[in-house]
Homo-oligomer: A and B are copies of this chain.
Amino acid sequence: MEAAVQQLRINYKTLEDFQAFREVGIQELSMKEELEADMIENNSKSPFYGIYIGDRLIARMCLYELGTNQDFYFDPPQPFLELWKLEVLQPYRGRGYGEVLVQHAKTFGQPVKTNARQGSDDFWIKMGFSPVYYDAERDRGENPYVWYPENVEPQN
């Protein structure tokens, strides 16, 4: 499947596109406020990546880099990517766009951690992710799935 993943720019068009997605919350609101208050530049890079069909954003995910001091998942401890808000708009589901985004997340060569949504376990395993051994204090009710690049192991 042909689909180009782009890092999204923070501007009013992107923020409007985001409104079509289910998982819209205070992160997007905060981006809007910062843009309006000139706290961030128009067209600055966002932590979101997406796929456009024509000029319509039909899939997105957020990739946020966390530092070594926040790494309780990987050995050796290192900066890693947390992936959230992976979502493909309803009419475009089942065509592999989600997979294209996740594969893109892996191209950075850093470990990736996500909180798998209810019923998505098979998808994450197919993506090469693994469930973790549950640690209450660390995982707090989440369903973490992680992807280990070469030479990276689970942290104990």
Contact = CB atoms under 8 A, between A and B. Distances in A.
Given A134-B29, A134-B30, A141 B22 contact: no
B134 A26 contact: yes
A36 interface: no
Contact of A25 (B22, B26, B143): B143
A132 interface: yes
Interface string A113-125: 0001010000000
The range of chain A's interface size is 20 to 34
A62 B141 CA distance: 8
Interface in A137-151: 137, 139-144
Q: Helix, strand, loop or mixed for chain A's interface? A: mixed
A128 B47 CA distance: 32
Contacts of A118: 22-25
Given A25-B141, A26-B131, A27-B136, 5 more contacts: A24-B118, A25-B116, A26-B134, A30-B136, A64-B136
A20 interface: no
A27 B141 contact: yes
A32 B137 CA distance: 18
Given A84-B140, A84-B141, A27 B134 contact: yes
